[in-house]
Chain A
Amino acid sequence: MAAFGIATGGGNWFSALALGVTFLKCLLIPTYHSTDFEVHRNWLAITHSLPISRWYYEATSEWTLDYPPFFAWFEYALSHVAKYFDQEMLNVHNLNYSSSRTLLFQRFSVIFTDALFVYAVHECCKCIDGNKAGKELTEKPKFILSVLLLWNFGLLIVDHIHFQYNGFLFGLMLLSIARLFQKRHMEGAFLFAVLLHFKHIYLYVAPAYDGSIRWSSFSFLRLISLGLMVFLVSALSLGPFLALDQLPQVFSRLFPFKRGLCHAYWAPNFWALYNALDKVLSVIGLQLKLLDPNKIPKASMTSGLVQQFQHTVLPSVTPLVTLICTLVAILPSIFCLWFKPQGPKGFLRSLILCALSSFMFGWHVHEKAILLAVLPMSLLSVGKAGDASIFLILTTTGHYSLFPLLFTAPELPIKILLMLLFTIYSISSLKTLFRKEKPLFNWMETFYLLGLGPLEVFCEFVFPFTSRKLKYPFIPLFLTSVYCAVGITYAWFKLYVSVLTDPPVGKTKKQ
């Protein structure tokens, strides 16, 4: 019924919101774009001008194709539109080519493929119950949710300024979640399998999908058909490369373990805290003369330039350790999902936990990966006050940690304004939604979130004008990632506690 209401009567505001954000995206076209722009241009060129057998071997540019085959096909399809814009961008040897037409085409390709995301958000809005809706449109959970998803700060700056194709990928993910909510499990699983072959980062949340088989009325036939379907999708994607006997090469491209533990800018996760602790200990050690200054490796990891580094005091971390940590962190939530089935909401919770846990402990995590937890969390946030408070802490710190992605001066006002817009809106609207319940934040959380303001002022406005800028250029990044890591760890912990302590839905109903 509610869905019907949206489709007919209240559909107007949704299209206005979607159109509004689309116009904003169009206005962002002339902004700075990162090397990812060149990456995707190069992939267009590779897929367009080379045979399939060369796709995963081509290495003229340093930005080799390292996404799964479906994404390559996606670029292939795009390239057939691109040739009408500018033939030159499809030349593999045209490195760093960027004409105004290329720019327009690439930017618009992101904006257009976002249509899938908009559709997915529309579907997601149908899934949440609008029973406790206020009379005002702006106080309805559906409205709030669609603003939180459509106008998501992280997605806007990562896709439309920094340049990536996350929009339609997240669209697939949200759509698959929506299908699970609508009890169309096969479709949901199918969409997710497809998504995995678009971008393998979503493997992080795959365990939650495994767990979801349990509550979706487990049966042997179902398992078989699911397995068959996943197999077919994989065959479609990887089959050609298997036939060409290139599978090892594809996998070596997809999973490069040669990079360091942390990205040049530390993603705000557990390892950021670990590194920071190591740094602090080494400084203390030097002060107290417990460490020999000559033994400390010169290539200090905080300089942000070196990817392979050694810890001074604490033991160094290997990929295997991170893998074990991640698995250990994920397991409880999967067990929880398996033995305490809580319906789609429980699945969503464990999906977010998977995403967050792998973000916390993963090897060479990008700060952008936080969106993997933020977007599904938006769905939860409009349902329960406790979730809303976790969501707000996670989102605000997670989004703030994206700030270093945009370091150019013209984009500074944009990121601050958009961040303020999203943060003020999300906090105030959720507060209004749950005004009858206890306050969303305790004093400590409020203090922490308010601290982001002075941090930003220090990092962007004060520090660059001080004399220490040349000596310690990495200080702003270091502070940002450590400060945000605290918040994200806290949110992760709080979410875990809430998942483990919550009674299963089924039991509460029986009582």
Chain B
Amino acid sequence: MEKWYLMTAVVLIGLTVRWTVSLNSYSGAGKPPMFGDYEAQRHWQEITFNLPIKQWYFNSSDNNLQYWGLDYPPLTAYHSLLCAYVAQLINPDWIALHTSRGYESQAHKLFMRATVLIADLLIYIPAVVLYCCCLKEISTKKKIANVLCILLYPGLILIDYGHFQNRYNSVSLGFALWGVLGVSCNWDLLGSLAFCLAVNYKQMELYHSLPFFCFLLGKCFKKGLKGKGFVLFVKLACTVLASFIICWLPFFTEREQTLQVLRRLFPDKVANIWCSFSVFLKIKDILPHHIQILISFCFTFLSLLPACIKLTLQPSPRVFRFTLILTLSFMLFKFKLSEIPREAEGTLVVSEVSCALSFFLFSFQVHEKSILLNDLLQFYFFIKPVCLVLSEIPFMSTWFLLVSTFSMVPLLLKDELLMPSVVTTMAFFIACATSFSIFEKTSEEELHLKSFSISVRKYLPRFTFLPRIIQHLFLISVITMVLLTLMTVTLDPPQKLPDLFTVLKSEENELALFPDVKNVNSAKRFCELLLCVNEIIILRIMDLHEEMEDGPVAPYF
């Protein structure tokens, strides 16, 4: 590649930003008795290094599961073990059984940060770079800009390097991205292997499994179920099975082992997710817990079903990517509601989800733009308003990602990470704005609109204002985010609640949320509510997008 040096520079900038953020504080620093996620990660190293593999997931005198017990799949545990071996070489005190609890020192912090950076460097960053290089139909310059924006996405940086989440997000995301990369480049076996690793690293990735399954199944169908397709299917099944068996091998010795691990991975607290829907309806009081869980699963599944069927019938990478986004968006919708009662946990989930979203959105917008502009805009002008929304995907995704980062502000404030979060968010915004010139895009579209204005007015005249409305909404939401951040930093929330109320009110017209506002008594929760609204709006626009997705395809048949 001609511009390899710019790509290198971009990757180096990403790395530098990561490391500078990691110089800041982490969650639970100097806060006994539980400390934070940082301690959890260290504790896992201690456990995996000192105990035999059979005791990892069991409660015992040496392994108190109440104190940051291991609740991630085996691959996470193996990774901890690997880190522990390195720690043993440097300073055995860091992972001494029992005595090392709450161990904190400058050198140890440096070590932990370095493990994240190395994991990132080995798995996540190559995946991002390769993924962007494999995107077709865009110029080298755009590819580099794409890499820059994805690598600068503040959510992931702040969570992994600032907060220090008790799971290396970048590893599971990196594996998942390798999976997407493999599957879209027709290296199906590699893709499914990478995805299995991702699932085995973090059970959250299971949410992505449906599109993966449907996409690969669709590929098999396409090749003919009796001939090549069947061979491929068998191969894929073998790969998946083999990778799972290898990862779980030590736990297959006894039935109880496997069950215990599963119990640790999927605890009962899932029930809480649906309870939080009580913001809208008091379902909690009406239905028992297990039915709520059932309903939640059904909803998610049903909402995904149409997209998955489409994917099975039409296994193209484009649809695949889109379905992935869709999975996430529905999941997001679900979790969004869950986060209101449980602040920290909830925001973490959101952050994870939006981290996962970031690269899909980005790849998506770059990928889709040309097709949509050329095909849709010129042939189907009656759906143009929505096309406008479509071609604004860079704009929308920037918006979305900004909002998602903003959602983490309360959490980051608690970790004293305000400065890096503000700075990285602004840097990200500048990077997106410059490389995709998001504001120019909208005006450009308006020009396009004018040339078609007569015909548009014939059908749906009021839609011509849509881009402008969205632009205003964007500005308003950015301003609100800034204001709310300022307020949460400077003011004492409870007394100032009325102010926040008005801000919120003027910001969005989602009146449905207001009946419950009285119950919410802190500014942080307001932020999250605001977020919900923002993201719901964005998702709705994305849904429109989805509807339109079916539109252009049909006429070709």
Residues of chain A having any CB pair with chain B under 8 Å? 12-13, 16, 19-20, 23-24, 26-31, 136, 138, 409-410, 413-414, 417-418, 420-421, 424-425, 427-429, 432
Partner of B16, one of A24, A410, A427: A24
A421 to B424, CA, bound (A): 19
Complex Cα spacing A424 to B431, Å: 21
Nearest A residue (CB) for B113: A410
Whether A23 contacts B117 by the Cβ 8 Å rule is no
The answer on a CB contact under 8 Å between A418 and B16 is: yes
Tell me whether B316 is interfacial, beta carbon within 8 Å: no
Residue B453 is within 8 A (CB to CB) of chain A in the complex? no
Kindly identify which residue among B9, B110, B114, B141 contacts A425, using a CB–CB cutoff of 8 Å: B9
CA distance A420 to B14 in the complex (A): 13
Which chain A residues lie closer than 8 Å to B433 at the CB level?
16
Interface string of B399-439 (1 = CB under 8 A from A): 00000000000000000000110011011001101100100
Determine whether the beta carbon of A20 is less than 8 Å from that of B430.
Answer: yes
List 13 interface pairs A-B (beta carbons < 8 Å), by A numbering: A12-B437, A19-B426, A24-B16, A26-B419, A27-B420, A30-B23, A138-B6, A409-B110, A421-B9, A421-B12, A428-B4, A428-B5, A429-B5
User: Considering only CB atoms, which chain A residue lies closest to B23 in the complex?
Assistant: A30
Nearest residue, chain B, Cβ from A419: B12
Which single residue of chain A is at the shortest CB-CB distance from B117? Answer: A413
- Nearest residue (CB) in A for B107 is A409
Q: Of B12, B117, B434, which one neighbours A420 at CB under 8 angstroms?
A: B12
Nearest first, the 6 A-B pairs at minimum CB distance are A428-B5, A27-B20, A16-B434, A421-B12, A23-B427, A26-B423
Besides A12-B437, A31-B20, A413-B15, 12 other CB < 8 A contacts?
Answer: A16-B434, A19-B426, A23-B424, A23-B427, A24-B16, A24-B427, A409-B107, A409-B110, A414-B16, A414-B19, A424-B8, A424-B12
Q: Are B434 and A421 in contact (CB under 8 A)?
A: no
Report A-chain residues with C-beta under 8 Å of the C-beta of B420: 27
B106 contacts which chain A residues (CB < 8 A)? Answer: 410
- In the complex where A138-B3, A428-B5, A429-B5 touch, is A27 in contact with B21 (Cβ < 8 A)? yes
Question: A432 to chain B: which residues have CB within 8 Å?
Answer: 5
Q: Which residues of chain B in 11-35 are interfacial with respect to chain A, using CB atoms and an 8 Å cutoff?
A: 12-13, 15-17, 19-21, 23-24
Residues of A within 8 A of B23 (CB): 30-31, 410
Q: Which residues of B contact A (CB under 8 A)?
A: 3-6, 8-9, 12-13, 15-17, 19-21, 23-24, 106-107, 110, 114, 117, 141, 419-420, 423-424, 426-427, 430-431, 433-434, 437
CB distance from B406 to the nearest CB of A (A): 17
Contacts of A420 in B (CB 8 A): 12
CA distance A417 to B8 in the complex (A): 11
Residues of chain B within 8 A of A424, CB atoms compared: 5, 8-9, 12
Instruction: Find chain A residues with CB under 8 A from B110 CB.
Output: 409-410
Known contacts: A20-B431, A138-B6, A410-B23. The answer to whether A417 contacts B15 by CB under 8 A is yes
Contact B423 A23 (CB under 8 A): yes
In the assembled complex, the CB of A155 is this many whole angstroms from the nearest CB of chain B, namely 15
A349 to chain B minimum Cβ distance, whole angstroms, is: 28
A12 to B430, CA, bound (A): 11
Question: In the complex the two chains form, is B434's CB within 8 Å of A13's CB?
Answer: yes
* Residues in B neighbouring A414, C-beta threshold 8 A: 16, 19-20
Residues in B whose Cβ lies below 8 Å from that of A26: 419, 423
Q: Looking at the assembled complex, report how far the CB atom of A511 sits from the nearest CB atom of chain B, in whole angstroms.
A: 38
Task: Check if A29 sits within 8 Å of B419, measured CB to CB.
Answer: yes
Q: Which residue of A lies closest to B428 (CB)?
A: A23
Tell whether, in the assembled complex, residue A24 and residue B434 are in contact, meaning their CB atoms are under 8 Å apart. Answer: no
A418: chain B residues within 8 A (beta carbon): 12, 16
Residue numbers in A under 8 Å from B424 (CB-CB):
23, 27
Q: How far is it, in angstroms, between the C-alpha of A16 and the C-alpha of B427 when the chains are bound?
A: 9
Interface residues of A, dominant DSSP: helix
A132, chain B: closest CB distance, angstroms: 18
CB neighbours (8 Å) of B8 from chain A are: 424
How far in angstroms is the closest Cβ of chain A from B522? 25
Hey, which chain B residues are within 8 Å of A429, CB to CB? Answer: 5
Measured in the bound complex, the distance between the Cα atoms of B12 and A5 in whole Å is: 30
B23 to chain A, nearest CB (A): 5
Taking a contact as CB atoms under 8 Å apart, the answer to whether A19 and B17 are in contact is: no
Smallest Cβ distance from B33 to chain A, in angstroms? 26
| CB-CB nearest in chain B for A25 | B423
Q: A20 to B428, alpha carbons, bound, how many Å?
A: 9
Bound complex: CA of A13 vs CA of B5, how far in Å?
18
B20 and A24: CB pair below 8 A?
yes
Which residue of B13, B419, B430, B437 contacts A421 across the interface (Cβ within 8 Å)?
Answer: B13
A421 touches B16 (CB 8 A): yes
Q: Which residues of A have CB within 8 Å of B9?
A: 421, 424-425
Q: CB distance A16 to B423 under 8 Å?
A: no
Q: How far is the CB of A360 from chain B (nearest CB, A)?
A: 31
Interface centre among A30, A413, A429 (most CB of B within 10 A): A413
Q: Which residues of B contact A417 (CB under 8 A)?
A: 12, 15-16, 19
A370 to chain B, nearest CB (A): 22
Query: B residues within 8 A CB of A20?
Result: 427, 430-431
Partner of B24, one of A12, A30, A413: A30
Q: Nearest Cβ in chain A — how far from B157, in angstroms?
A: 10
Residue on B nearest A413 in the bound complex, by CB: B19
Contact among B3, B4, B6, B17 for A24, CB-based, below 8 A: B17
Task: Output the least CB separation between B485 and chain A (Å).
Answer: 16
CA distance A272 to B553 in the complex (A): 73
CB distance from A106 to the nearest CB of B (A): 15
Whole-angstrom distance between the Cβ of B301 and the nearest chain A Cβ: 43
- Min CB–CB distance B12 → chain A (angstroms): 4
User: What's the Cα separation between A424 and B4 when bound, in Å?
Assistant: 10
Which B residues are in CB contact (< 8 Å) with A12?
A: 434, 437
Alpha-carbon distance between A429 and B7 when the two chains are bound, in angstroms: 12
Contact yes or no, B19 A23, CB < 8 A? no
Q: How far is the CA of A27 from the CA of B419 in the complex (A)?
A: 8
Contacts of A29 in B (CB 8 A): 419
Taking the closest CB of chain A, its distance from the CB of B546, in whole angstroms, is 33
CA distance A472 to B23 in the complex (A): 31
- Among the interface residues A13, A409, A417, which one has the most CB atoms of the partner chain B within 10 A? A417
Please indicate the chain B residues that have their CB under 8 angstroms from the CB of A31 in the complex. 20, 23
How far, in whole Å, are A27 and B418 apart by their CA atoms in the complex?
11
Contacts of A27 in B (CB 8 A): 17, 20-21, 420, 423-424
Distance, CA A28 to CA B420, complexed state (A): 10
Residues of A within 8 A of B16 (CB): 24, 414, 417-418, 421
Closest to B114 in A: A413
Residues of B within 8 A of A425 (CB): 5, 9
Q: What is the CA–CA distance of A429 and B426 in the complex, to the nearest angstrom? A: 27
* Chain A residues in 8 Å Cβ range of B4: 428
| CB-CB nearest in chain B for A136 | B141
Measured between alpha carbons, how far is A26 from B422 in the docked complex, in Å?
A: 10
- Cα–Cα distance between A86 and B423 once the two chains are bound (Å): 23
Complex Cα spacing A418 to B9, Å: 9
Contacts of B117 in A (CB 8 A): 413
Contacts of B107 in A (CB 8 A): 409
- How close is A219's CB to chain B, nearest CB, in angstroms? 47
B116 CB to closest chain A CB, in angstroms?
12
State how many angstroms separate the Cβ of A143 from the closest Cβ of chain B: 11
Across the interface, which residues of A come within 8 angstroms of B6, CB to CB? 138
Which chain A residue lies CB-closest to B440? A12
Complex CA–CA separation, A99 to B424 (angstroms): 24
Complex formed: what's the CA distance from A418 to B17 in Å? 10
B-side contacts of A28, CB under 8 Å: 20
With both chains docked as a complex, state the minimum distance between the C-beta of B59 and any C-beta of chain A, in angstroms. Answer: 37
Shortest distance from the beta carbon of B24 to any chain A beta carbon, whole Å:
6
Q: Which interface residue of A19, A31, A429 has the most chain B CB atoms within 10 A?
A: A19
Expressed in whole angstroms, the Cα–Cα distance for A27 and B24 within the complex equals: 9
A474-B117 Cα distance, complex, nearest whole Å:
30
Chain A hits for B13, CB < 8 A:
421
Query: Which chain B residue lies CB-closest to A431?
Result: B5
Contacts of A410 in B (CB 8 A): 23, 106, 110
Residue of A nearest to B19 (CB): A413
- B5 — which chain A residues lie within 8 A by C-beta? 424-425, 427-429, 432
